[in-house]
Every structure is written in structure tokens, then in C-alpha cells.
Amino acid sequence: EADIYQTPRYLVIGTGKKITLECSQTMGHDKMYWYQQDPGMELHLIHYSYGVNSTEKGDLSSESTVSRIRTEHFPLTLESARPSHTSQYLCASQHRGNYGYTFGSGTRLTVV
Amino acid sequence: QKEVEQNSGPLSVPEGAIASLNCTYSDRGSQSFFWYRQYSGKSPELIMSIYSNGDKEDGRFTAQLNKASQYVSLLIRDSQPSDSATYLCAVKAGAETSGSRLTFGEGTQLTVNP
């Protein structure tokens, strides 16, 4: 049973549209992360949060933004989608004790 | 030098063999080490964690850590076709380097041939 949920699972959207990818976790974790991953390629950290009202940009420059108003919710928003945003987006939360991540099932985004 | 490096793949082994996956890391202050398995099109799944030098066994999986050599490995005994996936090494570096977040290697693609 998943403790971290991402919606939608798949999304096909037109260029210029605004989209929000949802990520929610029920484990009460403070630390959450967004990664971008192209097929067969490595994970790239794009945003992270260490708690409510705390957000930071990751290692990979991204045109997306995030917010953290509630502990359990960490949505990612693209104001104007472009074909270059086509990728898989993975959300993860981090366990306090052992530092391991639990990943959501991901959102596969296609911008046409 | 990358913070976390994995042996370049793809790695191919016959069914029943031992698959050996290797990972080196650059931050000597690193504290926690993880192996994730990622099937094609799926998200990474944690399969092993190790925090102290030596071996840690869980079923067919054994993680080995050598902090002096800055080296962590994953052995998969009696490899099965269902083990075919990309294996990601992840390291929690010292707090001065990157806070709490994990640094991931590029992954090693493993194929187990029936």
C-alpha cells in the first residue's frame, strides 16, 4: 500500500498550458523532493523542501515551481508547458530515522 | 569527479549466477547508503540500506560497505530474470556537503538471461 501518492499518473497536454502535478504523503515526513527523469537516464533533483514554507531549487535548473503549505502536500507547477518539459516526474519523501526515500509512482508528462 | 559513481553497464548475467553491482562515493563523511531497484517505466524501490562497515544480508541480496575504501556494493545471488532492472546507488553525504538529501548514482542496468 503506497504511502506517497502522485496524480495524475499520465498527462498529455498542449504547449503553453499551466499544469500542477500533485504529490501527497501520509507518513508525516518533513522532507520531500521532486526529481525529473528521462527514460533510461539518471535522476535529476529539481526541487526539495525540508518542511512547511521551506522550498529550495535542486541541482537541475527547472522552470517549474513548488509550494509547501501543508506537511503532507508538495505540488509542482509548470506555468507554461513546453515540449522540453516532456519527462517523468518523481516525488519522494524522506524517513526521519534512516534517511531513506520512498518514491511515488511518478507522473509521466508529455507536452505536445 | 562525480559524488557517486556506479560501474558502467549494462551488466548481463545468466540465470542463477551472482550479479555484482559496485558503487564508489567521494565524501568520506558519508553516513548512510542505499540500493534502489527501478524497473523500466516505474519508480525506484528501496531494496537495501547499510550504515556500518561489513556485510548486510536480506534474502538473495547482500550489501557490502567499506568506508575506508569509500565503496559499497550489492550482490544478488541466484539471479532471476525478474531481477532485470536498473539498480541505483544512493548516498547520504556528510551534513556539510548536502544536508539530508541523498545523492544518486547514474544506475547500472542489469539483465538476467534465462
pLDDT in tens, A58-103: 988 788 999 999 999 999 999 999 999 999 999 999 988 778 999 9
Nearest residue of A to residue B93, measured between CA atoms: A99
Mean pLDDT of A33-60: 93
* Alpha-carbon distances of B73 from A26, A45, A68, B47, rounded to whole Å: 32, 23, 36, 13
Inter-chain touch A100–B88, beta carbons under 8 Å: no
C-alpha cell at B30: 558519508
Give the distance from residue B1's alpha carbon to the nearest chain A alpha carbon, in angstroms: 16
Mean pLDDT of A26-48: 93
Decide if A90 touches B, using CB distance below 8 A: yes
Inter-chain touch B34–A106, beta carbons under 8 Å: no
Mean pLDDT of B75-86: 98
Q: How confident is the model at residue A1 (pLDDT cuts 50, 70, 90)?
A: low
Mean pLDDT of B85-113: 87
Decide if A14 touches B, using CB distance below 8 A: no
A100 and A27 Cβ atoms separated by less than 8 Å: no
Least confident window among A56-60, B46-50, B107-111: A56-60
Give the distance from residue B110's alpha carbon to the nearest chain A alpha carbon, in angstroms: 12
**Radius of gyration of chain B from its Cα atoms, rounded to whole angstroms:** 14
Give the distance from residue A103's alpha carbon to the nearest chain B alpha carbon, in angstroms: 6
Task: Select from B43, B92, B100 the Cβ nearest to the Cβ of A105.
Answer: B43
- pLDDT of B97 reads 52
Report the distance separating Cα A3 and Cα A16, nearest Å: 32
Task: Name A71's Cβ contacts closer than 8 Å, sequence gap at least 6.
Answer: A28, A29, A30, A51, A52
Q: How confident is the model at residue B74 (pLDDT cuts 50, 70, 90)?
A: very high
Report the distance separating Cα B97 and Cα A103, nearest Å: 23
Q: How confident is the model at residue B2 (pLDDT cuts 50, 70, 90)?
A: confident
